[in-house]
Structure 1
Amino acid sequence: MLRGSRSACFLIVFGMLAVSRAARAEDGPEPRDAGSHSPEVGSEPSRRPADDPFDRVKNIPLGEQVSLSLGGQHRLGYELTDGLAGPMPESVLFSRNLLHVDAHGGPFRAFVQWGGHYALGAPTRDEPPGSDLFDVQQAFVEWSATSRDVRFVARVGRQEMALGSTRWVGIRDGTNVRQAFDIARLTLTGADWSVEGFGGVVPLLERGVLDDAPSARNPFWGVYATVAVLPRKLFSLEAFYLGRGRPSVTYGDVQGREVRHAFGVRAFGQTGSGFEYIGHALAQFGTVGDARILAWGLAGGLWQRLPFAPLRLGVRGDALSGDGRADDGRVSTFHAYFPNQTFFSALPLIYPSNLYEVHPLVQWELDAVTLEAGCVFFFRQSVHDAVYTPPGGVLVAPSVSDARYTGAQLSVSLGYRVTRHFTFNAEYSHVVAGPSLRAVTGGDVDFLGTWTTFTY
């Protein structure tokens, strides 16, 4: 248990609470989506300093309707984890460095972003997505136009993509190397609706220099549509289809190439009284080798903003199918594709597969500070399937333990927007191991992380 540091962790948590009280302001930022969680802090303030020196490189005119924008991000993160493997805690220092050039000329745009990602302290983290020495993070060309109140945007190349609440497809900002795709993408947007379709491949991440090549064996494609059914954000609906192929996967005694199709809907909205809701329903089909895929998933969240304090109380939950029998020629394990891995907390211990979970939490949202505290209770949907960990590997095999209860994860996180460009985030998590998790870890798990980000 982080010998001698458990008390220090609690002192840090107490310090977070003190900072949040000291930074109290009248108005808070817009709420995050009820289905998202990220260790990065919220949006930029609307009022921008008139003498900000970085504005000079945000719109450099090169000619008529031609301009150039330069920018970047530097993030330094420290993560300390105790209880997962070995007698010594895992201590890692992460560094993410991104630089980009954004060129605009009439309806055309060209964007290139380079990234250097480094991990010091743990050999197991010194590889993607923990480390990638230098590579092209994004590189795409874009064309946009508007006709009869419909905006068309066509984009081709390597690009990040977040769909909906990022529950199933996100940019993976919590990890050191963010998720990108080599795809062609077309987006149509109207007054109260949008439709986008995409197709391409997932690049194969390597640790070296300029070696993240497209992988034709990892295709990814889909269609995602959103419509506001009722005005004033009362009720909106999304429908989507996502397909993915992987060259080789293993579920129990089933192994082979996977082709998986996911059909889903997402309903969400909010009322004038501060009540917010979100719900997902998904069905997955396909094949793994000669076995058929038949999996399902349900997820949702309810929030209430209090009228007398800058607080949001909420509860989230998931029910994601697992495999019930190992020899029936069918795979029922739900696979989340490219989920927001910090959805439960900044400690990505449990992956959203074969899962029941309930997550009560509270957010205190102030002008520059966001404080969140909650506890996630994890259970296996099927005791004949594994407990999974990111990016989908086996954490607890069914042969090790058949207990349904996995554990409870308590977390407190702080986001502090120091200036327009500079943010600080911190989180402490303690996992109370249940029977199945204890069979692997031998005890509880502690996590402490801090992230300092400079964006310009």
Structure 2
Amino acid sequence: MKTKLLLSALLLPIFCFSQEYQVFKSLRYDEDYSFIKNDSTKSDWYSKMKFIPLNASKDTYLSLGGDVRFQYFYAKNENWGDGPQDSDGYVLSRYLFHADFHAGKFFRAFVQAQSSLADGRIDPSPVDQNPLDLHQAFADFNIINEGSKKLIVRAGRQELSYGSQRLVALREGPNNRQSFDGLKLITEKENVSADFFFTNYVIARNGIFDDTSNQDRQFWGSYFVFNKIPVIKNIDIYYLGYKRTKANFDDAKGRELRHSLGTRIWGKSGNWRYDGEAVFQFGDVAEKKVSAWTASINSGYRFNSVKFKPEIGFKTEIISGDKTQGDSMLQTFNPLFPRGAYFGLASVIGPSNLIDFHPSLSFEITKNIDWIVDYDMFWRYSGNDGIYAPNTSLIYPGNTTTKKKIGNQLESEIVWEPTPFLYFRLEGTWFQAKDYIKASGTGKNIFFAGITTQLKF
């Protein structure tokens, strides 16, 4: 009884606070708690943790926060039955804690530690297991910080996220989020914002404070966002440069230098939402010239006047693959740093050499409970190229068969968010292996189930 009373006393301020403010963002460093400075009603322990004044004027302050997530997953016939199999399932846990220091309007420092653990996972990868490390540590120098006008120089280890996260993502789905070491220039004026950056990818290692900046994988670029455009609402235009010393595609191995030019149109109009994106890539991998591309459409219509507010969604992608083995060209698209669970948390395929048709249906059961059902159909774009994981590692080569059908995936999930602080998800995925998978490996159907619970503060 005492334990329940103590727990209630600790959580009650959090629940009360959550009803007033929708504070959490996917990039935690974008959150701003300076509003507490002049609000005398915020005297509970949680508010005091989010805004800790360090001088009399309260212009210098510290904000603390974090994220704790636990997941249980069970997979039958993981990797279509190839490789070691686990009949018991495994538990993933992730802990993120950060401190955000502000000194007036013109300087801030952000530090975040991450611990990602995989219990019961057979041969966990760095995406699952990274016991303890410095995930982010950067300083912002606010050269201009006046309302809608901003000019900020950011230096240090940081997360990057752009657009729909097709090419540059936090990697929130997998257990270990990703980060980059480098410099970024952030600009904003009225309805236009732009980032310019040069970074090295941070390699996660299975140790304590041993993640290192990797000059073998360099990433740079510029990203422009134009808002409030007539008719189309919003448009992104970007250039992304990428270099790595050891690329490994089905028909090319060696040093990779790749440039990506892309645009994205997105927004909402009434009950409609829409997101269309196109990217062209050029460069070289070893002695081969790169000429790759992708185009996608993600749209949906929500019936707000109907019970449960059903939304019909449709997404399709065409992603190029290599046309001819042994020639001087490579058409395999590189998704760079995409969200890890690209086609659901089962994450069996990455976005390279792919045609994907993806209808979905979602319901708002209550204000805080959503039910989503989606069905995905996959084909190889090119019958001469293989299929790849989200990190472009080759799963199966292209020469096992001329058949293109990879398989069909049915997924359903129930998401409950009682407050912005708490998140629960129950999900199940069934992947039906088709001709290409059956010709390339064991070819069994996959069943995947998972339970997620998450607390943000």
Q: Given the two structures, how large is their TM-score scaled by the length of structure 1? A: 0.86
Q: Which amino acid aligns with 2:412?
A: V
Instruction: Look up the match of 1:256.
Output: 254
CA deviation after TM superposition for structure 1 residue 67, in Å: 0.3
Residues 181-222 of structure 1: CA deviation (Å, up to 9, x unaligned): 112111111221111111110012111011111111111001
TM-align CA RMSD: 2.2
With structure 2 as the length reference, what TM-score do the two structures score? 0.85
Q: Which residue of 2 aligns with 1:299?
A: 296
In structure 2, the CA distance between the partners of 1:109 and 1:196, relative to structure 1 (3 Å rule), is same
* Mapped partners of 1:387, 1:89: distance in 2: 26
Counterpart amino acid of residue 416 in structure 1: W
Single out whichever of 245-254 and 217-226 deviates more from structure 2.
Answer: 245-254
Task: List alignment gaps of at least 5 residues for structure 2.
Answer: 1-21, 32-40
Code of the aligned partner of 2:452: W
* Structure-2 separation of matches of 1:263 and 1:324: 21
How many residue pairs align between the two structures?
410
Q: Which residue pairs with 1:287 in the alignment?
A: 284
1:393 aligns with: 393
Structure 2 counterpart of 1:75, from 40, 64, 69: 69
Determine which of 265, 268, 276 is the counterpart of 2:266.
268
The answer to whether 1:334 aligns with 2:333 is yes
Quote the offset at 1:344 in angstroms: 1.7
Alpha-carbon shift at residue 230 of structure 1 (Å):
2.8
Tell me if the contact between 1:82 and 1:90 (Cα under 8 Å) persists in the aligned partners. Answer: no
Q: Name the CA shift for 1:250/1:87 in 2 (closer, same or farther; >3 Å).
A: closer
Tell me the percent identity.
30
Map Cα deviations across residues 357-407 of structure 1 (whole Å, 9 max, x no partner): 010001223421222110010000001000112321222212323310000
Contact 2:248 2:393 in 1 (8 A): no
Q: 1:163 corresponds to which residue?
A: 162
Within 1, Cα distance between the matches of 2:376 and 2:292?
23
**Residue 363 to residue 393, structure 1, CA distance change in 2 (3 Å):** same
3-state SS, counterpart of residue 54 of structure 2: strand
Matched-pair contact (CA < 8 Å) for 2:251–2:330? no
Aligned positions of 1:3-18 closer than 5 A = none
Structure-to-structure mapping, 1:8-407, within 5 angstroms: 53-63=45-55, 64=57, 65-84=59-78, 85=82, 86=84, 88-89=86-87, 91-106=89-104, 107-125=106-124, 127-144=125-142, 145-146=144-145, 149-230=148-229, 234-272=232-270, 274-309=271-306, 310-365=309-364, 366-407=366-407
Aligned to 1:6: none
Deviates more, 1:378-387 or 1:187-196: 187-196
Kindly tell me: are residues 445 and 225 of structure 1, through their superposed partners in 2, closer, same or farther at Cα, counting changes over 3 Å? same
Q: Distance in 1 between matches of 2:262 and 2:422?
A: 37
Structure 1 pair 367/433, CA: closer, same or farther in 2 (3 Å)?
Answer: same
Partner of 1:428 in structure 2?
A: 428
Deviation at 1:300? 1.0
Is the contact made by 1:360 and 1:376 (CA closer than 8 Å) also made in structure 2?
yes
In 2 relative to 1, CA 190–90 (structure 1 residues): closer, same or farther, beyond 3 Å?
A: farther
